[in-house]
Structure 1
Amino acid sequence: MDIIFVRHGEAEKADTGMDDSERRLTPKGEHDIKKTAVMIKKHVKTGNEIYIWSSPAVRAIQTARILADELEITTISSFDFIWNGDFSGFSMETGNYGGNTTLIVTGHEPHLSSWSEMLQGARIEFDKGTAAGFGIQNMSPLEGTFLWVVQPDTDTEENKDDGDTLLQNGKRQAEGKKKSSGLKKKSKSEREKKRRITRNEYSNILESNMQDIAARKESFLKDPDDIEQVHQLRVKIRHLRSLVSFIKPMLDEQLYAGIQEKLKSSAQRFSYIREIDVLAKGWAALRWENPDLFMDSDLLTGVLKGEREKEKNTLFVFLSEGGFDAELQEAFNGIRASAVYGEAAAGRIGDSMRDPVFEEFTEARFAQWRKKVEKEMKILDFSSQIELHALRISFKKLRYVNDSLMPYKRGGKWGLSEFEVMQDNLGDICDIYRNVAVLQKLKSIADIPNLQYEAGIYIGYQILHRERLLKKLKKTLK
């Protein structure tokens, strides 16, 4: 994956009463970005899928559209985490994309400079219209190497030149900046100091997640047939639950219980439709791999489609009429009223963790969670669906929080790579328990021989697959 950061072009000054996000590009700003777009195009690898992300600010969206026109891209995605400078939110979203991808991000200062430093340890100052490219070497944590930088205006002579000369000047400028303080590599201790987590940073992470949930809800309402929107909305809510759970020692017990109750209720509303989507995808794959088993019979597909349509309509009404918003707003208000949003958090981090430094709290809390997971692994009863599910949830919470705090963790990752395969296996095992239960329910809808046959075959396949996964998990944990 390659990532290209682009600062928006020159924007108009804000009139009295104008919101900063409403400022538009000036004619010069538009002209400069067109130059930058030509230079960026020369760096995009042939064959890569190109995605353009933008801050929701008008000047950034305008910048993204100019780039999209030059690169012949029709879709632009807007994310609040770009406007807020939430690198953890950005890192998590990039995890949904493959290696043959060029991701172009239009944003603002000082966030782009900070993000460039988090990516590769050297800070690049982004003047208006500046673009810089990075080659991503590691997705978790998100890390890469600096490749190039271009600017529409470097000096008078360059302003007269065409894109090719500007590109060369941009390369020379990048080389010059590497020698100057602007791109000077910082020591490890200096970089660690910059990445320390604070209560303010954590509240920004929470805020970004809440905004993402609201945005995902709107995306679902626009296209309720997109199964990925359902999945991502549910994941975002569960992610927020994990972040709240992580700071539980800092919260009033009653407040914490109320927040989690609302978030759990919201997430569960999407469970059944997600289960149907997973079953439909698996059923299509099973039929394709084993055409002789089913011949021309395919009643189960129709049943699954019917179930999804009913559930989709129920969800659509609930979300569009405000019930979902009201439920979530109670949780969001509780989070914003929590101690982590203010200095009152100091000294309220549990009997065993009284150090008021939030960074030390996160270190101790994460170690506590990891120790809990390791203990659960040692005593796991593989025949117990309850214990398997509990371990899966512990794994997920650990990974969600790890992903969010990654940019601030001294020394990088908290060493979870060995857990990731196990969590994926656990997820599949637990999903199969639910899949079988849903299939048994659907099987009982009508006493039709072909439907009974199809559902029976699918149930048998699911159980066999679960046993293979359990065997693999046992071997891994030995």
Structure 2
Amino acid sequence: MNKKLAHKLKQKKKTDSLTTLDSFMTEAVHNTLTAQTKYFMLDGSAEGVHDLRIALRKLRAYLSFAALLYSVESQEYWKNILQSWSVRTAEIRELDVLQDEWSKAGSLLNIDSLQDPLNGYLLKHRNNLLALFSESLQTGKLTEDLQAFLFWILNEKTQVKEDSWQSYTDWRLKKWLKNLRQQLKNIDIMDNEAIHRLRIKCKKNRYILEWYSRTRKDQKAARIATVLKQLQDYLGDIHDLEPEVELLNKLGGNAQESELLKEIALLSGWQAKRAYDAFQAFSAQGKDSYCTLVLEK
């Protein structure tokens, strides 16, 4: 930990129960357990999968935000555990997005065969993946991992006292936003991997800003979070074209039915139009404009 951070941590500030390190992390664990319960209640629907993915992503963002206060080995171990659960839902979520977009395309393009064959083909593949994921959840392993993670959080020796947690969060958020602005300033919009990294950073910053604005009653943080939501949506539509088309090509690789292949081509074109529109919207707004809006705390 550098001297600047150490100096910040020495500044004593009164905090309430919502702004302690333990409560910060505990809230994220609780939300993930709640999302898992909702997943079962919704029987693995698109909404249930999406909410669980968001909860896991927020938990990882919270851990990343507080990472400097834990040992490197321990927090890296838990980051990998949580990441492994997110990875298991990635393709399910991609299929949900494709199904939703195919439904929109069918409505606007008057595709008579919307329900057959592509929609059924996507649904069949999704159900196969979902069955495997649901089986892994039903073993209770995610619950066990989250409980073990919470036990570690509450018992791990950290480098912060409760009355210096606010000082740490102020310093850390300012640092994160500064790094985000720099990454945005230097982004090459034609580099898909760079877009993906920036999108991830937008999400992490937004989750923390939403927490910060709620617990500190900070309207400026809330406005920045709204800006980042728009930015991440544009970046998502631009970046996701490549993996979505790859997935469609993989699914249709052994297909012999001409109608299915035609619909895969139509959906690929539809997704390309979404990516183009997002690119145009991002360009019209301008990255310099976003840099100006994403102000340092």
Report the TM-score, using the length of structure 2 for normalisation. Answer: 0.84
Q: Distance in 2 between matches of 1:429 and 1:296?
A: 28
Q: Who is 1:345 aligned against?
A: 160
Q: Who is 1:308 aligned against?
A: 126
Q: 1:278, CA displacement in angstroms?
A: 1.1
Q: Who is 2:240 aligned against?
A: 431
Q: Who is 2:117 aligned against?
A: 299
Q: Which structure would you say has the larger RCO, counting Cα contacts within 8 Å and 6 or more residues apart?
A: 2
- Count residues in correspondence: 272
Q: 1:231, CA displacement in angstroms?
A: 0.7
CA offsets, 1:356-408, max 9 Å, x none? 82212111110110011111111101111110011001110011011112233
Q: Who is 2:109 aligned against?
A: 290
Q: Who is 1:334 aligned against?
A: 152
Question: Contact conserved, 1:259 with 1:335, CA < 8 A, in 2?
Answer: no
AA of the residue aligned to 2:82? L
Q: Distance in 2 between matches of 1:404 and 1:392?
A: 19
CA change 1:271–1:247 in 2 (3 A) is same
Q: Distance in 1 between matches of 2:144 and 2:52?
A: 16
Instruction: Give 1 or 2: higher strand fraction.
Output: 1
Q: Distance in 2 between matches of 1:408 and 1:213?
A: 19
AA of the residue aligned to 1:406? S
Q: Who is 1:227 aligned against?
A: 46
CA offsets, 1:405-431, max 9 Å, x none? 223336433250433321221122233
Q: Who is 2:9 aligned against?
A: none
Q: Who is 1:258 aligned against?
A: 77
Whether 2:211 is the aligned partner of 1:393: answer no
CA offsets, 1:456-477, max 9 Å, x none? 1111121122122112212322
AA of the residue aligned to 1:310? N
Q: Who is 2:266 aligned against?
A: 457
Instruction: Give 1 or 2: higher helix fraction.
Output: 2
Question: Contact conserved, 2:60 with 2:79, CA < 8 A, in 1?
Answer: yes
Q: Who is 2:292 aligned against?
A: none
Aligned residue runs from structure 1 range 100-249, under 5 A:
196=15, 201-249=20-68
Q: Who is 1:71 aligned against?
A: none
Q: Who is 2:86 aligned against?
A: 267
Q: Who is 1:470 aligned against?
A: 279
Structure 1 regions of 5+ residues with no counterpart? 1-192, 348-355
> Quick one: percent identity of the two aligned structures?
23
Q: 1:307, CA displacement in angstroms?
A: 1.0
Q: Distance in 2 between matches of 1:332 and 1:281?
A: 36
Q: Who is 1:412 aligned against?
A: 219
CA change 1:200–1:463 in 2 (3 A) is closer
Question: Contact conserved, 1:300 with 1:455, CA < 8 A, in 2?
Answer: yes
Q: Who is 2:10 aligned against?
A: none
CA offsets, 1:301-357, max 9 Å, x none? 0111101211121111111112333343443333333345xxx5249xxxxxxxx82
AA of the residue aligned to 1:271? A
Q: Distance in 1 between matches of 2:157 and 2:105?
A: 50
Which secondary structure does the structure 2 equivalent of 1:380 belong to? coil
Query: Which residue of 138, 141, 145 maps to 1:320?
Result: 138
Q: Distance in 1 between matches of 2:258 and 2:182?
A: 47
Q: Who is 2:174 aligned against?
A: 367
Q: Distance in 1 between matches of 2:229 and 2:29?
A: 25
Which secondary structure does the structure 2 equivalent of 1:389 belong to? helix
Q: Distance in 1 between matches of 2:218 and 2:132?
A: 47
Aligned residue runs from structure 1 range 79-98, under 5 A:
none
Which secondary structure does the structure 2 equivalent of 1:345 belong to? coil
Question: Contact conserved, 2:18 with 2:215, CA < 8 A, in 1?
Answer: no
Query: Which residue of 172, 185, 191 maps to 1:378?
Result: 185
AA of the residue aligned to 1:296? S
Q: Distance in 2 between matches of 1:455 and 1:246?
A: 41
Which secondary structure does the structure 1 equivalent of 2:220 belong to? coil
Q: Who is 2:256 aligned against?
A: 447
AA of the residue aligned to 2:262? Y
Alignment root-mean-square deviation, CA: 2.3
Which secondary structure does the structure 1 equivalent of 2:232 belong to? helix
Question: Contact conserved, 1:276 with 1:308, CA < 8 A, in 2?
Answer: yes
CA change 1:357–1:364 in 2 (3 A) is same
Report the TM-score, using the length of structure 1 for normalisation. Answer: 0.53
AA of the residue aligned to 2:160? A
Question: Contact conserved, 2:58 with 2:204, CA < 8 A, in 1?
Answer: yes
